[in-house]
């Protein structure tokens, strides 16, 4: 594949960063992952806004301009001959002396592109299994709201997962439902939609935010809170979300069949937004 490395298109095997890059030495980097549908990056402005927020917190100076990133992604799609893809935007702190820095003014920008894997075809109708992880969610931090190098929690948790058909669900150290390894969690009880609170230190998912707006438009009540895992035994529906898989239902939990009434309504609205490439 051809990727973007700073301001150049390069073959992925020809892209290198310095061993003194503070992204490598101290984990100072951030990233965003999004989907491209029919050559249009979906919710790009939302992802760039979240990226800009974390870069500000990390004191990494990089101009974030929608038109610039849209142009770069369009060129990547063209040169790699793809219409539908997964995009990952990564910003590392860049090369700096071998000690901590207060500010980074020469970061590295990498934009990776990947063809859609076959498992994503009709994934809403295939669904996913979920299970509760033994690995606990790391302690709360403002950085857990964003996509940063602090991904060891998910790496350790992923080692518990044997197949892409399953998604592990984190519990906090206090035993509350948190989020999936790479997803946000929702469940329905008596036509009310529930999801763990951001106060638990979970990722502020772009698709999670979208579900809130779509539910509001559909007149579906939604509640955030602190929930113990046994509440899932009462759930009529469960689904997970992220920017790559979209909205994916859990058809069975602990050998109990689940419905997809509200999740199907939200999914339909979500698909309409994809077709319009819009998010109100």
User: Across residues 12-37, what is the average pLDDT?
Assistant: 95
User: Across residues 102-113, what is the average pLDDT?
Assistant: 97
Whether residue 134 sits in one domain with residue 268: yes
pTM of the model: 0.94
CB 89 within 8 A of CB 32: yes
Domain region containing 50: 2-116
Whether residue 255 sits in one domain with residue 146: yes
Per-residue pLDDT band for 142 (boundaries 50, 70, 90) equals: low
Whether residue 107 sits in one domain with residue 30: yes
Residue 106: pLDDT over 60: yes
Q: Choose the final residue of a domain: 67, 84, 116.
A: 116
Q: Choose the final residue of a domain: 116, 141, 156.
A: 116
Per-residue pLDDT band for 280 (boundaries 50, 70, 90) equals: very low
Looking at residue 278, its pLDDT comes to 64
User: Across residues 115-136, what is the average pLDDT?
Assistant: 93
User: Across residues 168-184, what is the average pLDDT?
Assistant: 96
Question: What CATH number is associated with residue 137?
Answer: 3.20.10.10
Whether residue 192 sits in one domain with residue 135: yes
Whether residue 254 sits in one domain with residue 130: yes
Whether residue 230 sits in one domain with residue 131: yes
Whether residue 267 sits in one domain with residue 140: yes
Question: What CATH number is associated with residue 33?
Answer: 3.30.470.10
Looking at residue 155, its pLDDT comes to 85
CB 91 within 8 A of CB 108: yes
Whether residue 142 sits in one domain with residue 20: no
Whether residue 175 sits in one domain with residue 153: yes
How much of the chain, in percent, has pLDDT values that exceed 70? Answer: 96
Dihedral of CA atoms 43, 49, 51, 53 in degrees, nearest 10, equals: -160
Domains identified in the chain, total number:
2
Whether residue 142 sits in one domain with residue 107: no
User: Across residues 263-277, what is the average pLDDT?
Assistant: 94
Whether residue 261 sits in one domain with residue 162: yes
């Amino acid at each position: 594949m051809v990727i973007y490395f700073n301001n150049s298109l390069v073959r992925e095997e020809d892209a290198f960063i310095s061993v003194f890059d503070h992204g490598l030495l101290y984990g100072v980097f951030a990233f965003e992952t999004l989907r491209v549908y029919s050559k249009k990056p979906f919710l790009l402005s939302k992802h760039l806004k979240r990226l800009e927020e974390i870069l500000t917190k990390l004191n990494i100076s990089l101009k974030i301009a929608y038109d610039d990133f849209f142009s770069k992604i369009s060129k990547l799609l063209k040169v790699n001959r793809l219409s539908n893809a997964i995009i990952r935007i990564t910003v590392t702190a860049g090369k700096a002396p071998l000690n901590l820095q207060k500010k980074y003014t020469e970061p590295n920008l990498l934009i990776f592109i990947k063809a859609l894997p076959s498992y994503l075809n009709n994934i809403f109708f295939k669904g996913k299994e979920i299970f509760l992880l033994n690995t606990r969610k790391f302690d709360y931090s403002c950085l857990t709201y964003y996509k940063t190098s602090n991904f060891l929690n998910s790496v350790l948790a992923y080692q518990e997962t044997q197949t892409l058909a399953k998604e592990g669900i984190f519990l906090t150290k206090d035993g509350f439902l948190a989020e999936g390894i790479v997803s946000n969690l929702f469940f329905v009880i008596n036509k009310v939609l529930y999801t763990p609170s951001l106060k638990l230190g979970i990722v502020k998912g772009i698709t999670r935010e979208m579900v809130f707006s779509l539910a509001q438009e559909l007149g579906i009540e939604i509640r955030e809170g602190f929930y113990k895992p046994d509440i899932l035994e009462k759930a009529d529906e469960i689904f997970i979300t992220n920017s790559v898989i979209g909205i994916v239902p859990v058809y069975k939990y602990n050998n109990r069949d689940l419905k997809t009434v509200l999740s199907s309504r939200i999914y339909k609205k979500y698909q309409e937004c994809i077709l319009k490439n819009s998010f109100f």
